[in-house]
Structure 1
Amino acid sequence: MNNDKLFNNMENIELHELPMQRNNTDGVEETAVTNQPRSDYPGSRRPIPVSLVEQDYRRTIAPASGLEFLRDVNQLIIQQSIELNDLISNISSENRYIVKVPRRDAIYYATETSGDFQRNCFGSGRAFVMRLFDRTQQEALILERRLACGNCTFWCYLQRMEVWIPPGDYVGVVRQQFSMAMKAVFYVYNDCELLYRIEGPSSFGCILGKAQNFQIYNYDGSTQIGSIIYQWDQVQVCYNMLLQMPSNIANNKHKALLLGSAFLLEYMFFESSKKRSRCCRCIC
Structure 2
Amino acid sequence: MQAQNNQYNSEWMSKPQGIPGCPPGLEYLTQIDQVLIRQKKDCMEIFTGWEERNRYEIYNSLNQQFFFAQEESTCLMRQCCGPNRGFILHITDNYGQEVMRFRREFRCCVGASCCADSCNCAFEVMVETPSGEPLGKVRQGQYCCIPEYKIIDAQGNQILHVQGPLCVCDCCADFEIQTLDKSQTIGVVKKKWRGLATEMFTNANSFSINFPMDLDVKAKAVLMGAAFLIDFMFFEQQNNN
Normalised to the residue count of structure 1, the TM-score between the two structures is 0.71
Q: Which residue of 1 aligns with 2:132?
A: 168
Which runs of 5 or more residues in structure 1 are unaligned? Answer: 9-50, 54-58
Q: Which residue of 1 aligns with 2:113?
A: 152
Taking the TM superposition and a 5 Å limit, the aligned residue runs for 1:62-211 are 63=18, 65-148=24-107, 149-153=110-114, 155=116, 156=119, 157-179=121-143, 181-191=144-154, 192-202=156-166, 207-211=168-172
How far residue 62 of structure 1 moved from its aligned partner, in angstroms, is 5.1
SS of alignment partner, residue 201 of structure 1: coil
* Distance across 2 between alignment mates of 1:88 and 1:104: 28
In structure 2, do the counterparts of structure 1 residues 198 and 128 end up closer, same or farther at CA, with 3 Å as the change threshold?
same
Are residues 92 and 168 of structure 1, via their aligned partners in 2, closer, same or farther at CA, if it must alter by over 3 Å?
same
Structure 1 residues 154, 117: CA separation in 2 closer, same or farther (over 3 Å shift)? farther
CA contact (8 A) 1:131 1:142 kept: yes
Deviation at 1:61, TM superposition (A): 4.0
Listed as ranges, the gaps of 5+ residues in structure 2 are 200-204
Cα deviations across residues 14-52 of structure 1 (Å, max 9, x unaligned)? Answer: xxxxxxxxxxxxxxxxxxxxxxxxxxxxxxxxxxxxx95
Report the RMSD for the aligned CA atoms in angstroms: 2.7
Match of 2:26, SS state, is helix
SS in 2 for 1:142: strand
Structure 1 runs (4+) greater than 6 angstroms displaced: none
2:227 to 262, 273, 277: 262
* TM-score of the two chains, using structure 2 as the length reference: 0.82
Could you say which structure has the greater relative contact order, defined with CA pairs below 8 angstroms and 6 or more residues apart? 2
- Structure number with larger C-alpha Rg: 1
> How far off its partner does 1:153 sit?
4.1
Cα 1:60/1:76, change in 2 over 3 Å: closer
- Measured after TM superposition, the shift of residue 254 of structure 1 is 1.2
Q: Which amino acid aligns with 1:5?
A: N
Distance 1:241 1:151 in 2: 24
Report which of the two has the higher share of strand: 1
Contact 1:6–1:135 (8 Å) recurs in 2: no
